[in-house]
Structures are given as C-alpha cells and as structure tokens.
A and B are shown apart, each in its own frame.
Chain A
C-alpha cells in the first residue's frame, strides 16, 4: 500500500530525513519509534503534504501512485489520513459542518454520491458513541476549547467517519491519561481491517500495549536504523534510544 524509498527531506534548509525506507502492506500496523528530533513528525507531514517540507530525494508510492505530486486534499481523497500530534484549533468552523464538508469533498473526488444530512448524522452519531464523544462537542468550533484528550478523540472520530485506507497516527498517545488512551486505542483497533494499514508514530512503548503492531521501526537521525516485531518496542523501553543512536552514527 505504501512504499517509501530513500526519502530525504529538508525543513528550512535543514535536512531532517536522510534516506527513509519503509514498506507497509494492507492490513498491517507499523509502529515508528524514535527520540525527539529523529524526524518522526517530519515523516508524517511529508506524507500528508504540508508546505515547507521539501523532499530532496527519494520517492513515496501509495497504491502504486506517486504520492508526492498530489495536493494534500487529493491525498486525503485517496484515503490517506494523518491524526495530528497537535490538532489545530479553528475558531468559527463548526466541527460537524467541517466533517460533512470534508467527507463529501472526498466522496465527490472519488466519484461517489454525496451523503445527505440525515445519513451523515447517523454515521457521526454511531462513530461518536463508540468513542464516547458527546454530540454537543461537535457543535463547537473545531478543537476550540477541547481538552488534550478530547482533541485526540476528535481526531480518531474524524478518522472513523472518513474511513481512510492509510492512517498515520502522530503521537496520538501524548497528553492522554490511561482511560482516554484506552478509549482512543479501542477506537483505533476497531478500524483495523485487512483493507487498511496504519502507521503509529510514538515516542513511548505504552501505546503499543493497546495498539499491538505487526512491525516496529526505530527512526534515528532521519533514517530507519532497525526494524523488528513488537518485541523491539520492549527492548527499546529497556535499553533506551541511546544505543540505537550509536548504531545510526
């Protein structure tokens, strides 16, 4: 589904990614772990198409298509979804309206009929209930006045409504207490399916107790320095990132 080859990227002229190789297949959950500044968030922004993240070398193929030539909204319409580490507050844009516009924009881009308001409401109500999100929250502006945990849950709700094929979760666990973490993880796990792949970016191993990955990769100084199964996360927890950084150097 996703094939990243020798990806190099710079931000403000500083090189952050220095040759990332990663292949993710349908149905798989991959975890990318790494210390602060290793390039985890940069990788997620490059995939989502954020301005200012310049790819200088390498390629990203998504379902056989060159992802990097697509606009951010085109990537979304083709099924890519980034759950932000810091979901952005947008005053004045009502969450419910935003979700409906987004879903219908994606459907339209895919040549599917737009969803009527009642059908849309049914869908949101169902997904929100599973994530224990109060519908009143969705009548408020996008993320405005939401607690840290509410923002993360709202991201997962968007994901559940938009039903992407490739989910990238950037530090979804940060700022969550254990109860909120469980709810979020349950929401994510409910979306696991043979047709869907997930890339879970995290600093700590904690999240991976709830969202159990098929593969774990260690990112250090902009490169994947080691890959393994879920036991690699435990090893990291034990030894810390320092030893891997030595490997990378």
Chain B
C-alpha cells in the first residue's frame, strides 16, 4: 500500500515500525487505516484544539514486543491507592506482569494477559475503528489485560489496574484493557496510569468495557503520566439492558492529554454517568471527547466535567449526545465547568446534541470562572489560611466528579490529591 502524503517525523517512525508487523490480520488492517488517516490535525473539527501533528513533534517508535524492564515494589507504591487497595493487576509498559499482581483469579474474577490485537476478546465494543487513537492502539499494541466478572457475582472491594510506563526514551506505549462484566455482576475498578517523570513518551491506553444485562461497573481512571508525556486514551463501552456505568476520569499528568469516550446503549433502561476532573497547570493541555450514543429507548446519560486550570493550562470538553430514531424517553444531560485560577488559563466547551427522536429530555450547560471571593473569605474568617482555603475550594470544586464513587476511601484519596495539587503550587 502506498502512503503518498507528506509524513511528519512521528508518522515516518510509525510507518517504519509497521514494516515489522504481520502482513495480514487485525493489526495490519488497523495499521493501514491509521497510516491512511495520519495523525489527526486541527483541520479536523474533532481535533481543532489538539493538533497531534504539531504536538507529537519527533519520532516515538512504538514498543511492540520488547520484554518490559523489571519493576520494583517501590514503583507500585507510587500509586496513591497503594495502601488502600489490596487487589492489584499490574501492567508494565503495557505488558501484564502477574508476578507483581496481587489480584488472584477467583470464581468471580478471571484475568489473563492480552498479547496482541489477534486476541478474540478484542473489538467487541462498538467504537469506530476508524478513530485514529483506537487504530493506533490496535496496530501497535504492546500487550494488555482482559478481565471478566462472572455472571451474578459482586466484587465488593475495588481493585486496581496499575499501568506503569518506564520509557526513558521517546517511545509509544499502546496497551489494551478489556473489562467484561457479565449479566447481573458488578465490580469497582481503579485504572491508574503512572509514567516516568520527565521522560517524553506517548501513552496510548485503550479500555473496552462490555456490560451485560443488569451489570454494573464503577470505574475510576487516574492519569498521572510524566510531565513530558503525551496521553492518548480511549474508553469504548457498550451497555446492555439495565446496566449501569459510573466512570470518573481524573487528569493530572502529561503535557498533552486527549481522552475519548464512546458509549453505546444496546439495551433499554441502561444508565451511564461519565464524570471527570482536570488538575492542570503550566502549559498542560487536556481535551476530552465524549460521544454517547442512545440507540434504544429509555436510557439515561450524564456527563459532568470539572476542570481546574492554573497558569497557562488549557482544558477542553467536547461532548456529543446522539439520540437515534426511536430512542424515545432518552434522558441525556451534560455539563462542564472550568475553574480558572489564572488569567492565562483557558477553558473551551463544545457540547453537541444530535436528536432524531421527539420524546426526549436533553440538555447541556457550561460555565467558567475564578474561585469565589466570598467562599475564600468565609473560610478565612473561621481561621483557615488563604492557601488552605484555596486548596479546600479547589478540592470541593473537583469533588462533584467523585460524588458517585461508591467507596468513601477512594473519594477521600482523590480529594486529598486535589488539595495537595494546590499546595504543591506553581513552582516546579
């Protein structure tokens, strides 16, 4: 196949890597799709704020089948959930590391590594394969993990999928997580992404979630990639009837983050709530793109994003709710809020509704503003210092995104992370 267009150095490196891939199969197909599209750029409406041709400026050859370096226990302790979550599945540079994992497979939980894109568990979700982030991941997958929660079982305690990127050189790390929650089952999963501080790399994790009838998944994704990292992630989820998805993404790391979510309702009375918090400063940039597809009647979707932006950080929220013909009684609402701690910070929101049914309740709202002076004064009048008052209020602002997490401890940890983010301050 020919790729006649002018390639950026990053694209050229991807092209070179592609020569090593098998000549057929899902991986090859994805690679060809990815190269035909190239890296997305600002002339594409969905990417107008996040031009990857510019942002991925050098070569980041993908890690395809390198044995990941050994990682010590101290690395695991970098997870803020280390002390509070006992069950843990660890991925090192995208590859499942059973020797570091502490989540035993049981009757309720089945775990196994994914080696590459030929795994049959892949591709059951409904997201467009034409998406560049997903195509990139399928083509260059270093590994991953598949987790299945058996029908009618409840995994009470949350467990963590800890993904650590060790890259010290500019590389692309693509990993895949597939979570299958069978009929009537429920689980609570924290997905933590940690990277090498100061290293420049592209982290490209894709998570697929399949919820059977009456299934429930509570997912928290914490992104703490290194300051120089580019984070390109995607969540694809499909929900069968009466299924419940509670998804909370917290973005703190990376220089550039593009996170996407494609949520599809396959069965009636399903309910998805997607919340997110950004805690960004410096020139950090996070662009969230969500598409919620109401294909069947009587489903509910909620999106709430709380974006804290300091210095010259930029936060973007693009949410689209699609209500297909016949998807009556759809209830879909989205809201996004920017808290701008500096005059140079910027928040952009692009809510979209695409409605082809007439009996629906849909809405959206967006706000941006500074910390309320009155709130600060009230707290200070009770003896709380200015710094602590600001930390409390920033944490409280972000906390709306954590509200539905069914474990007090996880909520508290995230609130503390937000507070310490404020205290850490601007100077780096």
Q: Residues on A close to B: CB < 8 A?
A: 48-51, 71-73, 75-77, 81-82, 84, 87-88, 90-93, 98-99, 101-103, 105-106, 109, 141-142, 158, 162
Inter-chain contact B380/A162, CB cutoff 8 Å: no
Q: Residues on B close to A: CB < 8 A?
A: 373-375, 377-386, 388-389, 392-393, 395-397, 399-400
Which residues from chain A contact B378 at a C-beta distance below 8 Å?
84, 87-88, 90, 142
A48 to B377, CA, bound (A): 9
* 21 interchain pairs, CB-CB under 8 A: A49-B381, A50-B377, A71-B380, A72-B377, A75-B381, A76-B381, A76-B382, A81-B382, A90-B379, A90-B396, A91-B400, A92-B393, A92-B395, A92-B397, A93-B392, A102-B379, A105-B383, A141-B396, A142-B378, A158-B382, A162-B382
B289 to chain A: closest CB distance in Å?
A: 26
B393 to chain A: closest CB distance in Å?
A: 7
Residue from B381, B389, B396 in contact with A91 in the complex, judged by beta carbons closer than 8 Å:
B396
B276 to chain A: closest CB distance in Å?
A: 15
Inter-chain contact B383/A73, CB cutoff 8 Å: yes
A156 to chain B: closest CB distance in Å?
A: 13
Which residues from chain A contact B388 at a C-beta distance below 8 Å?
101, 105
**B contacts with A: majority SS:** helix
A105 to B393, CA, bound (A): 16
Which residues from chain B contact A92 at a C-beta distance below 8 Å?
393, 395-397, 399-400
A87 to B392, CA, bound (A): 18
Q: Which residue of B lies closest to A89 (CB)?
A: B375
Inter-chain contact A90/B393, CB cutoff 8 Å: yes
Which residues from chain A contact B393 at a C-beta distance below 8 Å?
90, 92-93
Inter-chain contact B384/A105, CB cutoff 8 Å: yes
Which residues from chain B contact A72 at a C-beta distance below 8 Å?
377, 380-381
A92 to B381, CA, bound (A): 18
Which residues from chain A contact B375 at a C-beta distance below 8 Å?
88, 90
Inter-chain contact B386/A98, CB cutoff 8 Å: no
Most chain B CB within 10 A, of A72, A88, A102, A106, is at A72
A79 to B393, CA, bound (A): 24
A92-B395, A92-B400 known; A98 vs B379 contact (CB < 8 Å): yes
Closest CB pairs A-B (n = 7) = A92-B396, A76-B383, A106-B383, A102-B382, A72-B380, A88-B378, A93-B396
Q: Which residue of B lies closest to A86 (CB)?
A: B374
A90 to B393, CA, bound (A): 8
Q: Which residue of B lies closest to A87 (CB)?
A: B378
Q: Which residue of B lies closest to A72 (CB)?
A: B380
A206 to chain B: closest CB distance in Å?
A: 26
Which residues from chain A contact B395 at a C-beta distance below 8 Å?
92
Q: Which residue of B lies closest to A104 (CB)?
A: B383
A178 to B190, CA, bound (A): 51
A73 to B390, CA, bound (A): 13
A73-B380, A93-B396 known; A88 vs B385 contact (CB < 8 Å): no
A90-B375, A92-B397 known; A101 vs B381 contact (CB < 8 Å): no
Inter-chain contact A82/B383, CB cutoff 8 Å: no
A90-B396, A92-B400 known; A73 vs B385 contact (CB < 8 Å): yes
Most chain A CB within 10 A, of B377, B378, B388, is at B378
A77 to B382, CA, bound (A): 8
A198 to chain B: closest CB distance in Å?
A: 16
Residue from A77, A87, A91 in contact with B383 in the complex, judged by beta carbons closer than 8 Å:
A77
B413 to chain A: closest CB distance in Å?
A: 15
A176 to B77, CA, bound (A): 53
A101 to B385, CA, bound (A): 10
B411 to chain A: closest CB distance in Å?
A: 11
A103 to B379, CA, bound (A): 11
Q: Which residue of A lies closest to B378 (CB)?
A: A88
Inter-chain contact A105/B385, CB cutoff 8 Å: yes
A91 to B382, CA, bound (A): 17
A103 to B383, CA, bound (A): 7
Which residues from chain A contact B377 at a C-beta distance below 8 Å?
48, 50-51, 72
Which residues from chain A contact B400 at a C-beta distance below 8 Å?
91-92
Residue from B374, B384, B396 in contact with A88 in the complex, judged by beta carbons closer than 8 Å:
B374
Q: Which residue of B lies closest to A83 (CB)?
A: B381
Which residues from chain B contact A73 at a C-beta distance below 8 Å?
380-386, 389
Which residues from chain B contact A77 at a C-beta distance below 8 Å?
383
Which residues from chain B contact A49 at a C-beta distance below 8 Å?
380-381
A31 to chain B: closest CB distance in Å?
A: 21
Which residues from chain B contact A50 at a C-beta distance below 8 Å?
377, 381
Inter-chain contact A101/B380, CB cutoff 8 Å: no
Inter-chain contact A102/B384, CB cutoff 8 Å: yes
Which residues from chain B contact A141 at a C-beta distance below 8 Å?
396
Which residues from chain A contact B373 at a C-beta distance below 8 Å?
51
Which residues from chain A contact B385 at a C-beta distance below 8 Å?
71, 73, 105
B307 to chain A: closest CB distance in Å?
A: 15
Which residues from chain B contact A109 at a C-beta distance below 8 Å?
383
Which residues from chain B contact A103 at a C-beta distance below 8 Å?
383
A98 to B399, CA, bound (A): 15
A9 to chain B: closest CB distance in Å?
A: 16
Most chain B CB within 10 A, of A71, A82, A90, is at A90
Which residues from chain B contact A87 at a C-beta distance below 8 Å?
378
Which residues from chain B contact A99 at a C-beta distance below 8 Å?
382
Inter-chain contact A102/B383, CB cutoff 8 Å: yes
B415 to chain A: closest CB distance in Å?
A: 9
Q: Which residue of A lies closest to B387 (CB)?
A: A73
Inter-chain contact A82/B380, CB cutoff 8 Å: no
B102 to chain A: closest CB distance in Å?
A: 30
A176 to chain B: closest CB distance in Å?
A: 20
Most chain B CB within 10 A, of A81, A98, A103, is at A98
Q: Which residue of B lies closest to A84 (CB)?
A: B378
Q: A71-B380, A92-B395 are in contact. List 9 more A-B contacts (CB 8 A).
A: A72-B381, A73-B381, A84-B378, A84-B381, A87-B378, A88-B378, A98-B379, A102-B383, A105-B388
